[in-house]
Amino acid sequence: MFFERIYERGLAQASFLVGCQATGEAIVIDPKRDIDDYLTLARREGLRIRKVTETHIHADFLSGSRELAAATGAELLLSDEGGREWQYEFPHTSLRHGDHFMVGNLKFEVLHTPGHTPEHVCFLLTDTPAGSDPVMIFTGDFVFVGDVGRPDLLEKAAGIAGTMEDGAQLLWRSLALFRDLPDHLQVWPGHGAGSACGKALGAVPGSTVGYEKLVNWAFQAKDEASFVATILDGQPEPPTYFATMKRLNKVERPLFEKKTLAILEPEELEAFMRKGAVLADLRSKQAFLGGHIPGALFLPWSNAFTTWAGWVIPYDRPIILSCDARLADDAVIALSRIGLDQVAALAPDVDTWEQSGRRLALVDSVDASDLARHAEHTGAMILDVRGTAEFAEARIAGSKRVHFGNLRKHMDELPKDRPLAVHCKAGNRSLLACSILQSEGYDEVINVSGGIDAWVKHGGAVEPGGDEPARDRVSR
């Protein structure tokens, strides 16, 4: 048997290529949208990808199952569990609980494990030449290393009211099925640390059933009520793009196509932006602070790039990239992984922009150690753009919290007649927030260098957060 885990760090997403070396047949489970890794790996190992499958309708990335099936002629096997409203709306081979299929001499058994989503399934793998007992389970977003899949996304991300508690109760019942599995089974989940599909995912790539029953918090819950309360408490905000992924992974959609991007002249970029294009600046923090094209969003090239882009870039507007041309291909692929396919061109570099007689925009900064003095002197509002859990743990007294990805929904709560001093944990998300505010016409925005970490390091006082109203004061 051949087995390899393919991991995409930007979305903390795992997929798997499993092959029968005796027959040369292979399957890919939960593929990402850019499929070259699977094609290259299969060629290297002398395997033919004959089947492609998914554990569920994903919310955090756009599945590459259809791209892979189109490229290889592989059979597409997908869950038909969960009820009518949770069915894939394009041709596929149906999978139900208890079904099994073969990939060469490898047997895959389907287990329906609802909770994270109603249609979710796992795959038990038996290497039949080696024995009659299963050796692996591919758990998707059901059981992670140290955590379980969150059941609140359908309500929080897709807007389907009243599904959180029902999903949590279903998940509790599905865990009973997992408890009955043999302890030796290898567990291969669909995500690792950093994914928004759980709140405490471990960084170890795989586990075993026995290990998870010993250490995973979900298996320590004493009863259903305590499990439901715990699983629903403290989940991070789901990125805004999750709702779009749920829809696009379910319906017919265009397949990914590679594109070559032209570099715009300054006047061409201005024309695009007048029509509502989003200018994404992928350069470093230092480069952005040194001057950027007005209206650009700070989206630095990092592991967080794709998720941050999904938070702040609408799906109905063209995207222009401000980055080195050598990075453009990778950026287009990264955006395609969440269906942001509308990249239209590359922006001129900032030197070309400035040499054409056009101005560069700047974001002012204040050191965290000077924040209290600055706020008192200028009357600035302290704007915290971190997540709910971070804010609940510690906040600067008097600060107002709006998650950076939700700023555009809360503009009416933010004053334009006084400065906004924006902070996050360390200063990156806050700079993105400043760029959003600038693009929306806020002239007096200040990025707090080093964020709340630097504030605390320099002796600044913090207090427990929560959703209480800001008291418009700063203490040290």
| 234 contacts 393 by C-beta, under 8 angstroms | no
Q: Please, are residues 236 and 151 in contact by the beta-carbon 8 Å criterion?
A: no
What is the distance between the alpha carbons of residues 255 and 68, in angstroms, rounded to a whole number? 10
Beta bridge partners of 17: 4, 28
d(Cα 318, Cα 271) in Å, to the nearest integer?
12
Question: What is the token pair recorded at 43?
Answer: 């060629």
What kind and span of H or E run contains 463?
Answer: none
Pick the catalytic residue: 20, 197, 424, 434?
424
* 3-class SS letters over 128-184: CCCCCCCCEEEEECCECCCCECCCCHHHHCCCCCCCHHHHHHHHHHHHHHHHCCCCC
CB proximity list for 18: less than 8 A, separation 6 or greater: 1, 2, 3, 26, 27, 28, 29, 103, 106, 125
Calculate the CA 207 to chain-centre distance: 22
Q: What are phi and psi of 140, to 5 degrees?
A: 55, -125
Radius of gyration of the chain (CA): 24
- Residue 250's contacts (CB-CB under 8 Å, 6 or more residues apart) are 57, 87, 88, 89
Query: Is residue 247 within 8 Å of residue 166, measured between CB atoms?
Result: no
Closest CA to 360 of 375, 342, 376, 348: 348
User: Nearest-CA neighbor of 364 among 463, 457, 448, 242?
Assistant: 448
DSSP string of 383-426, one letter each residue: EE-S-HHHHHH-B-TT-EE--GGGGGGGGGGS-SSS-EEEE-SS
Distance between start and end Cα atoms, the chain: 61
| Catalytic residue flag (residue 424) | yes
The rounded distance, in Å, linking the Cα atoms of 392 and 154 is 24
Instruction: Give Cα separations from 12 to 6, 15, 64 (angstroms).
Output: 11, 10, 16
Active-site residue list: 424
